[in-house]
Structure 1
């Protein structure tokens, strides 16, 4: 922790022993002073009106249903699990409907529902289907879901606090909220003090409840940890989980998820103790985190699916609606965020939502711009990072994500120096993400599938080098967490965007260097994707470099002799047991190419190396008795027994297929004669032709001023 953060923490320590400010309700997302303005804004500003109508519609649906607080018994996606989720959303929606409409029926519904919980909660044991290896909850199968439940419920309770009788409030607080606080801080103490997104949700639930119930001790614990010494708690979470660039160490998918408790609790602190200036902490880090999270999406809004990610998530998710609104209204009014809010098509019915909807109506929005950038990882920004290269406008943008970040804790994958490539609105070289059908009870109760460990986390599941058919760190997450890659170079010049990194710990005695670039040449409309992957060792190894692709393999420089029967798995462990070997051919001495058709566009990858290569065509699905694995295909370059190896590839996007008119143009690549001229640990020289013109590039690892040059 740097000196400034220590000073801020000392300031928090001095402030918190003092009693909290006089209680006013509501005072979390929607403050009492702003209720009249929000009521008026609902009538005047279209986005706020639409958002409130959605909330009110859901609240009205809840009022038409019978109060249902079932004994918890189901895993994720099961009936009781889903009912308790419906209940916490109903409480928040009815609370907002009460504040805007003033209709007592919404407050009465919340009161009855919470009194029912108060009558049952203390009787419930730990959940009978608690997840193996996870801390069990009482309402849900894991404690995390209980924390989430309370984050939503305490907001709804705050919204109707004054509309519930004092005697009913006492019952709700004595028999529901206070026992829940004991469960969260005592029974779940390891999670409360854990630097992890589960800990963040716990802290936010406890701290927000402390504010609403006027229990300063819970606020103190939330801010400074259970020992109140600042070694854990909210500030420690911000310090240790985010880099100075606002990157959350578990990756974009979990950054989205973790941002919600971070920003909601920050808003609660701001409203109850504005003198603490929480939104200024670490140079407005929460604002950076939201901006960074948005940049960690492709132009369709989908998050880059590295680590344990569900690939359907976009910045339209509720967490980013909260994040964007609060970042704009409470931290820094960046007009680009209004563009995102418009695409989200909703705002929070709150103080922040009012500000966003007002400024959108007044025409203050500016287009959100995706930019090439290096996003560092680690509390001090020195534990590797993510390189993002982008070329073209949002309608048809090439984007390359280069992952040279740290392990990312338990949700991290063994994918050092992995790349993802997008173009034309789709994945070209994708990442598998997580092996999980979230909240689909029939698929292992909605939990991570066994194949998440045996396949999705393993190195071979990614577009990066595998040594001797084993995963980075032999798939040992604790060992991987201790090490990180090093960023060697980054350049965002529009015509020559480059990211380079080195990894020396993933395999004993093996050094890996990868340099990836988007090269703009005048003969072509689209940039070329250049990829140079070097590996050095004193011993012989087998090196496999897979390229997982979307689309159809339509051409290759070598004859494909696909196996028509008797498919066999490629290996026995580290993910190889899940791979069917469809074809295996020796490439020509000067390399070759593979052409893929994806979303009516062709992608030709030319490749060469400094030793002979085998090209293996693979598909996913072996040893999958429950048919859990999703369809995936790859071509893989293999050097069977070498010490040093350099893989060079250039991928060209070209041509178009018009299925309606049955026409095809530009089906052949214009790149040719890819050559690796020279390669060692200090320098790589290569050349290729585009429409007959020779382009020669030189990578100089020892010269950062002239790292990559066009000769």
Structure 2
């Protein structure tokens, strides 16, 4: 009998007899541990500062008149922000009440909830609900209503015993029960959707069901409206996460979805510990939290693949919750404490107490970033992400090869895209999403039209474009049918390598990309080696852009930028947003471009088995509302159509500048004579020289061992 069937049987037995006896508070902060947390606030610095911040916010809030406005504005608007402020106030005051025992905080929560109860049922669907999304009543989309409820029910749980039974009845019957009906009946499709919107919905309903002692709602939250296990919380864990804990929409949405997953898990564990929810799918939630951390660069920012706002770091509140619960309730890994210290806060809760105590006792160990292949898909068979890292956390090289599934509606058409980081920043970057989130003055805080016309398109990424068209013609329904395949992954000390293929993005076209970090004697840092082979059943035009940060400082060819009358590079699939600044048709098959980025030089040498046209590009064409952000690229294009072509590049990190003392060191690359010796379906052989040594490498696409190897080294 599998685990899910066991869970279903246990739930049937429990629900037929009702839930366990009620006790408040009972989610993050529990009645059994309130005294210990109160003592911990005085003993452990991180818990103390975290509580002081919450209490200060609560103290500011209760001095103001309660404001429950009729919903009117979209994301970032006045009423939107007020209702967000209200749910944070409800939770903060709940915590302040439990730890200070001052009834004024509980009374403020009670009065605010009564104000909502007096109005909620009169409100229609939000007047500015988002197109193609389930509208909410409090907010423009039901998703935000669910977030409101997840926070609010925790605050209510904390002040429950301080509210008179009559007022509790009013709050529950006129506010929370109508909300439950809205989220399960009016939002039926979203409630049963395998998606982050569905996750927030089932968490809101399930947590409310526990606090209000409504077992039928808990059962629906866990198993879907039909209670058959095909939807609901458990199905979402099964289908949205891979066995490695990767969330299919990408790191940015993994961060967002984690909060309802872990909060509901905490509630399940507290109310029904015999279900062992933290053990589900081999401790899947712990893996998801650890994987979220591994999906960041050493500056804490998440890899911005798919629809992502690039400023998000692991300091976000979702990862604070997730890390605290992972350490306290699942597995007390000492390296998690290192991240908690960088987050500079803990949740004022049972879990936060354990984390703060362990840090105060000196149990923290440095967080270790790993080179790894992270599988995608519920069964781990839908491609994945290859991450290669070299160097210390203070100055780390990091290469990401994206060979994952489409990622549903938030996915971009960027199969075999690479990102490259060094020196605490981006070198080859991803644009992320085109959106000014919650800034109502910019298209109401919605995704901008350019998110579809530019950010999702293939040419906006560091991957191959065929005939100036995006992968799968930018159709999500087609892209979701297929995924890239891993060819090889290994992370040996002197050579880390990942290779993956994509054979469905264009009809009759097979793409294979191999990227590596290779240590060689005398090099300041590992060389980034990139080999992209394309094979087709007819001739095509191939473009391989490299979007970079920094300034162009040198090239093997004379760059003569157009002085006026700039033209867009094309008419569709993102090309219409690119200015063609210069182009050079190379007379031989090799060249280089050198970039100065964050006081360090990066020289990319490139070659091919066909003659190349190098185009210098910038973002900004056909942008009437000035919405697109700055970006530059060099693009390697085939001079003539071809059925097969192999692009090879090696990026060397070298030298530095000191702008204060006006000194420059090692501004010139030491790599020379990059050549593609041979390339076919079976293997590729490249050669180059570095300082006084000539190297020749073989990449064997069919080898299970010795996939990539140094086959010749000559000193001269």
Give the TM-score taking structure 2 as reference length.
Answer: 0.98
Q: Counterpart in 2 of 1:670?
A: 670
Q: Counterpart in 2 of 1:695?
A: 695
CA contact (8 A) 1:413 1:457 kept: yes
Q: Pairwise mapping of residues 229-268 of structure 1 onto structure 2 (< 5 A)?
A: 229-268=228-267
CA contact (8 A) 2:684 2:698 kept: yes
Task: Extract unaligned runs of 5+ from structure 1.
Answer: none
Q: Pairwise mapping of residues 65-144 of structure 1 onto structure 2 (< 5 A)?
A: 65-144=64-143
Q: Counterpart in 1 of 2:579?
A: 580
Q: Counterpart in 2 of 1:52?
A: 51
Is 1:151 the counterpart of 2:150? The answer is yes
Q: Counterpart in 2 of 1:681?
A: 681
Residues in 2 aligned to 1:423 and 1:239: alpha-carbon distance in whole angstroms: 35
Considering only aligned residues, what root-mean-square deviation do their CA atoms show, in Å? 0.8
1:277-334 residue CA offsets vs partner (Å, 9 max, x unmatched) = 1000000000000000000000000000000000000000000000000000000010
CA contact (8 A) 2:385 2:404 kept: yes
CA contact (8 A) 2:589 2:612 kept: no
Q: How far 1:9 sits from its partner (Å)?
A: 4.0
Q: How far 1:588 sits from its partner (Å)?
A: 3.2
Residues in 1 aligned to 2:77 and 2:594: alpha-carbon distance in whole angstroms: 44
CA contact (8 A) 1:23 1:212 kept: yes
Q: Counterpart in 2 of 1:43?
A: 42
Task: Extract unaligned runs of 5+ from structure 2.
Answer: 712-716
Q: Counterpart in 1 of 2:554?
A: 555
Q: Counterpart in 1 of 2:191?
A: 192
CA contact (8 A) 1:520 1:527 kept: yes
Q: Indicate how the Cα distance of structure 1 residues 644 and 345 shifts in structure 2: closer, same or farther if over 3 A, else same.
A: same
Q: Counterpart in 2 of 1:373?
A: 372
CA contact (8 A) 1:391 1:494 kept: no
Q: Indicate how the Cα distance of structure 1 residues 496 and 64 shifts in structure 2: closer, same or farther if over 3 A, else same.
A: same
Residues in 2 aligned to 1:183 and 1:140: alpha-carbon distance in whole angstroms: 13
Q: Pairwise mapping of residues 587-606 of structure 1 onto structure 2 (< 5 A)?
A: 587-606=586-605
Residues in 2 aligned to 1:661 and 1:256: alpha-carbon distance in whole angstroms: 42
Is 1:25 the counterpart of 2:24? The answer is yes
Residues in 1 aligned to 2:99 and 2:507: alpha-carbon distance in whole angstroms: 63
Runs of 4+ in 1 over 2 A off after TM superposition: 2-18
Query: What is the SS of the residue equivalent to 1:540?
Result: strand
Is 1:510 the counterpart of 2:517? The answer is no
Q: Indicate how the Cα distance of structure 1 residues 242 and 9 shifts in structure 2: closer, same or farther if over 3 A, else same.
A: farther
Residues in 2 aligned to 1:113 and 1:83: alpha-carbon distance in whole angstroms: 12
Is 1:312 the counterpart of 2:311? The answer is yes
CA contact (8 A) 1:473 1:480 kept: yes
Q: Counterpart in 1 of 2:714?
A: none
Query: What is the SS of the residue equivalent to 2:545?
Result: strand
CA contact (8 A) 1:9 1:235 kept: no
Q: Counterpart in 1 of 2:606?
A: 607
Residues in 2 aligned to 1:494 and 1:26: alpha-carbon distance in whole angstroms: 51
Q: Counterpart in 1 of 2:168?
A: 169
Residues in 2 aligned to 1:245 and 1:664: alpha-carbon distance in whole angstroms: 44
Q: Indicate how the Cα distance of structure 1 residues 505 and 14 shifts in structure 2: closer, same or farther if over 3 A, else same.
A: farther
Q: How far 1:702 sits from its partner (Å)?
A: 1.1
Query: What is the SS of the residue equivalent to 1:136?
Result: coil
Residues in 2 aligned to 1:330 and 1:584: alpha-carbon distance in whole angstroms: 58
Q: Indicate how the Cα distance of structure 1 residues 83 and 487 shifts in structure 2: closer, same or farther if over 3 A, else same.
A: same
Is 1:347 the counterpart of 2:346? The answer is yes
Q: Counterpart in 2 of 1:658?
A: 658
1:639-659 residue CA offsets vs partner (Å, 9 max, x unmatched) = 140000000000001000000
Q: Pairwise mapping of residues 426-437 of structure 1 onto structure 2 (< 5 A)?
A: 426-437=425-436
Query: What is the SS of the residue equivalent to 1:538?
Result: strand
Query: What is the SS of the residue equivalent to 2:51?
Result: helix
Q: Counterpart in 2 of 1:565?
A: 564
Q: Counterpart in 1 of 2:403?
A: 404
Q: How far 1:482 sits from its partner (Å)?
A: 1.1
Residues in 1 aligned to 2:590 and 2:13: alpha-carbon distance in whole angstroms: 67
Residues in 2 aligned to 1:467 and 1:6: alpha-carbon distance in whole angstroms: 47
Residues in 2 aligned to 1:310 and 1:657: alpha-carbon distance in whole angstroms: 31
Q: Indicate how the Cα distance of structure 1 residues 448 and 281 shifts in structure 2: closer, same or farther if over 3 A, else same.
A: same
Q: Counterpart in 2 of 1:303?
A: 302
Residues in 2 aligned to 1:706 and 1:236: alpha-carbon distance in whole angstroms: 40
* Number of residue pairs the alignment of both structures matches: 710
1:348-380 residue CA offsets vs partner (Å, 9 max, x unmatched) = 000000000111111111110101000000011
Query: What is the SS of the residue equivalent to 1:672?
Result: strand
Q: Counterpart in 2 of 1:627?
A: 626
Residues in 2 aligned to 1:16 and 1:366: alpha-carbon distance in whole angstroms: 43
Q: How far 1:15 sits from its partner (Å)?
A: 3.4
Residues in 2 aligned to 1:12 and 1:239: alpha-carbon distance in whole angstroms: 18
Query: What is the SS of the residue equivalent to 2:374?
Result: strand
Residues in 2 aligned to 1:434 and 1:662: alpha-carbon distance in whole angstroms: 37
Q: Counterpart in 2 of 1:206?
A: 205
1:536-568 residue CA offsets vs partner (Å, 9 max, x unmatched) = 012010000000000001110011110010001
1:632-676 residue CA offsets vs partner (Å, 9 max, x unmatched) = 000000014000000000000100000000010100001110000
Give the TM-score taking structure 1 as reference length.
Answer: 0.99
Q: Counterpart in 1 of 2:643?
A: 643
Q: Counterpart in 2 of 1:324?
A: 323
